[in-house]
Amino acid sequence: MNEVVKARAVAEVALFAALIVALGTVPSLYAFGLAVPLTAQTLGVMLAGAVLGPKRGSAAVAVVLVLVMASLPVLSGGRGGVAVVVGPTGGFLLGWLPAALVVGLVARRALCLPTRYRVPGLVVACLAGGVVVDYALGVPWWAVVTHQDLALTAGQAVAFLPGDLVKAVLAGMAAAAVHRQLGQRSHDHAGHALRGDGVQDVAGGEVLTEPVGFSGAVEVGRAGDQQVPAGGERDQAGDLDR
């Protein structure tokens, strides 16, 4: 079972790395003649952290950054290579890694909230990592590389905010939908096991652990035919990055 979980984790990381790369096919926009483009790829970074959690989300981003350093054209506009990283946009690119980490950490907390607060919580997670953290690294780097005043550069970065706010909302809503679906699947798997028609039966109080979806496992025990989510903290899809 551990090998199945590991294989699934690798597949998840590869899938979200591919998603980030695929979003690079959306044409970038250099608004107001700024040196840093507006791209759709930060949406993928937010989704990676919010769906996979801090470890796997960061791993997916790391895969993309390795491809960039290898000069593969995986960024918007077919860009790639060390020259991009050391250019004005480099701080935002390298900021994707801690951004995905922070999104995942905050998302983990958000998924422990009551159901009605989970979507806002996931949106806040995407804003915390995808905007606050990424800008905190990207704006100073941009200022240093272009020899601009930091305050002036920060003012120019405001042009990115509307688009990034929209991406955070979309990512939060999409992540909530994914976790909701995975939570339903985990309950379905648990029901099959308790009825004896699953892959492995539950008898005499034995615990069955079965990997479910992108982010967790569900533990099922025979205690009045109750379903107990892994960790006992929430009922959707288990803990992110256990």
- Does the pTM exceed 0.85? no
Residue-level pLDDT at 33: 81
- Asked if 148 and 174 touch (Cβ cutoff 8 Å), the reply is no
Residue-level pLDDT at 187: 58
Query: pLDDT-derived band of residue 138, with 50, 70 and 90 as boundaries?
Result: very high
- Asked if 168 and 126 touch (Cβ cutoff 8 Å), the reply is yes
Taken in order of first residue, the domains within the chain and their CATH numbers are 2-161 (1.10.1760.20)
Residue-level pLDDT at 142: 97
Residue-level pLDDT at 227: 40
Q: How far apart are the first and last CA of the chain?
A: 15
Average pLDDT over residues 137-164: 96
Q: What percent of the chain has pLDDT over 70?
A: 76
DSSP state of 38: B
Residue-level pLDDT at 207: 31
pLDDT in tens, 82-119: 999 999 999 999 999 999 999 999 999 999 999 999 99
Pick 242 or 228 by higher pLDDT: 242
Q: What is the largest CA-CA distance in the chain?
A: 70
Say which residue the tokens 């995942």 belong to. 104
Query: pLDDT-derived band of residue 186, with 50, 70 and 90 as boundaries?
Result: low
What's phi and psi for 216, nearest 5 deg?
170, -170
Q: Return d(Cα 24, Cα 147) in angstroms, integer.
A: 28
Q: Return d(Cα 53, Cα 57) in angstroms, integer.
A: 5
- Asked if 220 and 238 touch (Cβ cutoff 8 Å), the reply is no
**How far, rounded to the nearest angstrom, does the alpha carbon of residue 132 sit from its chain's CA centroid?**
15
What lies within 8 Å, CB to CB, of 129 at 6+ separation is: 45, 46, 49, 98, 99, 100, 101, 102, 103, 104, 106
Nearest to 163 by CA among 155, 171, 173: 171
Indicate whether 219 pLDDT > 80. Answer: no
What lies within 8 Å, CB to CB, of 151 at 6+ separation is: none
Residue-level pLDDT at 35: 87
Tokens of 10: 């690798």
Q: Residue type at 132?
A: V
Residue-level pLDDT at 149: 96
pLDDT in tens, 36-75: 999 999 999 999 999 999 999 999 999 999 999 999 999 9
Element (H, E) at 227: strand 227-229
Indicate whether 81 pLDDT > 80. Answer: yes
Of 22-26, 141-145, 156-160, 221-225, least confident by mean pLDDT is 221-225
Mean pLDDT taken over the chain: 83
Residue-level pLDDT at 199: 37
